[in-house]
Structure 1
Amino acid sequence: MDKKEERLNHILKATITILSEEGAEKLSMRKVAKNANLSLSNLQYYYKDKDLLLIATVKYYFESCQEEVTQAIALLTAERMPSTEVFLRKLLNMLLLEGKSNDQVLMFQEIWTLSARNEELERAVETYYKNYCTWLIDLISKFSKEPEVIVSLLIPFIEGYTIVNNVIPLDKERIIQMMVKLISSMDK
C-alpha cells in the first residue's frame, strides 16, 4: 500500500468512527480533518466536499464488510467443503447483526439515513447492494442450485433483522435454524 492509499484509508476510518460514534448530524469536514490529523485544506485535496467523502466512505466500508465475510468463508472452506447447512449457519451467524450495540449496524443505519437525503449517495448504496447481491449469489452458488432465490430472500431479511432483532420473539439461534430449514427446503 502506497502512502496516498494509506492516507485515504486513514481519512475514511476517521469518517467511519465519527459516523458510528456520533452520527451523521455531527459529521463535518473539519471534524474529519481533526480526527485524521490533517488540515482542512489537506482533507479537501483528497475529497472536495462532504458528499464525495461520504460516497468514498460508504464504498470503503462496504468493501471492508464484504472482505471480512470473504475471509471468514475462506477459513470455513479451507480444509474441506462444508455441507450446505453448515455453510448457511456460518453465513447467517455472520450477517445477522444485532442492534444498536454493534458498530457495524450503527454505521449501516447512518448510511441509510444519509442516502435518503442525498441522491448521489443513494445511487452509491444501490450500486453497492447490486454488487453485494452478485457477490453473494456467486458465493452461494457453490452450495445451492438457486442462489438468486436465496439471495432475494436473505438480503431484505438480514437488513430488517438489524432493525427489529431486539423485539422479535425468537432468539438469533432459533432464527438461524428456521432460515436454514426454510432455505434447505426451497433448494431441493
Structure 2
Amino acid sequence: MDQTITASNRSQKETQILECALKLLIETGDAGLTMRRIADCAGMRLSNVQYYFKSRDDVLVAMVAQYFDACADNLLRLTEESKARTERERVRFLVNAGLSHGQEISDMCRAFREIWAISSRNNVIDQCLMRYYRRFADLMANYALSDELGTADREKVKALLVPYFEGYSVTARSLNLKNDVVVDMVTDIALSLMRRAMRQ
C-alpha cells in the first residue's frame, strides 16, 4: 500500500480501518492492535482488511500518518481561529495549546504514548514521528514567531518549546504549579529568548 496517500484520497473503508486501528491503539495499546481485531472492530472480514493493507505494519504506518495529519490540521485550524493579535498573545495562545493536554490523560496523550513506544522499535514509525514534530514546529513558528527572527534563532525557540510541550504532557499532573502559571512562565521565557536574539 502506498503510504503517500492522503486522508482525503482514501476510500471510506480504508478510513474506517484506520479509525478502528487508532481506537484499538488507544484502548488496548500496541499489543492489542492485530489485523483480526482491526477487522472485527471495522465489521469486516480479515481478507477485506488485507485487501487494503497487506500487513499490520502497513496499517500502522498509514494510521500514524493519518493521525499526525489530523493533529497538524487541528493546530493549523486553531491558529487560524485564534483571536490573538499581539506577539505575546500569539505565543501565549500557542503555549497554552501545547500544554493543554498535560493536565489530563486524554486520548491524544494515550495515542502519542503508544506511538512513541512503537517508534523505539520501528524505524518507519520513528520517521513519521520526526516528520510530525518538524511540521508541528514549523506551524508553531509560522504562527507565533516574529518575522524579524533569523533562521537560527527560530530554531532555538522551536528547540525550547516543542520538547517542553511533549515533556510537560507526561509530567504535568505531578507538578504543583497551575497551568496558567506555567503558560505565563514559558511564554515569558520564549519572548525573552526572541527579544534577546533580535537585539543581537
The answer to whether TM tops 0.5 is: yes
Contact preservation (8 Å) 1:138, 1:147: no
Change (3 A) 1:182 1:54: same
CA distance in 2, matches of 1:75, 1:120: 33
Shift of residue 181, structure 1, vs aligned partner: 0.8
Q: Give the corresponding residue for 2:192.
A: 185
* Superimposed CA distance per residue, residues 75-125 of structure 1 (whole angstroms, 9 cap, x where no aligned partner): 115xxx611111122212222112552110010000011111212222222
CA distance in 2, matches of 1:144, 1:176: 23
Q: Give the corresponding residue for 1:94.
A: 97
Question: Counterparts of 1:1-188 in structure 2 under 5 Å?
Answer: 4-77=10-83, 82-96=85-99, 97-98=101-102, 101-141=105-145, 145=149, 146-188=153-195
Q: Which amino acid aligns with 1:131?
A: R
Shift of residue 59, structure 1, vs aligned partner: 0.7
CA distance in 2, matches of 1:113, 1:2: 28
CA RMSD after TM alignment? 2.1
Structure 1 residue runs without a partner (length 5+): none
Change (3 A) 1:2 1:55: closer
Contact preservation (8 Å) 2:76, 2:139: no
TM-score (norm 1): 0.89
Q: Give the corresponding residue for 2:198.
A: none
Shift of residue 149, structure 1, vs aligned partner: 2.0
Contact preservation (8 Å) 2:141, 2:154: yes
Change (3 A) 1:38 1:144: farther
* Superimposed CA distance per residue, residues 3-22 of structure 1 (whole angstroms, 9 cap, x where no aligned partner): 95322221111111111112
- Percent of paired sites with the same residue: 26
Residue aligned with 1:45, SS? helix
Q: Which amino acid aligns with 1:85?
A: R
TM-score (norm 2): 0.84
